[in-house]
Amino acid sequence: MSKLHLVFGGRVKDPRGLDFIDLNNLDLVGLFDSYAAAEEAWRGAAQRTVDDAEMKYVVVHLHRLLEPDTAALDSDG
């Protein structure tokens, strides 16, 4: 199975948390087959909004959600 990663971002109530304000306006950056590619996309998106403290981008390890039993064995992000 591919190691799928989702990168998205949006406005958050508190930049220290993950409580996104408007789920209808999330910026879906994309799906990536490696953590390295997802991290590169995340860095680009986060850099574009670096001056906006209410914008936050994250990488979600979809493969860990799809196969939680193998997450502990996963060494590639």
pLDDT digits (tens, 9 = 90+) for 47-65: 999 999 899 999 999 988 8
24-45: pLDDT as tens digits = 999 999 999 999 999 999 999 9
Between 64 and 75, whose confidence is greater? 64
Strand pairing report for 55-61 and 27-32: unpaired
**Domain spans of the chain?**
5-73
> Shortest CA distance to 77 belongs to which of 22, 27, 39, 46?
39
CATH 3.30.70.2400 assigned to domain 5-73? The reply is: yes
Can you give the length of the chain in residues?
77
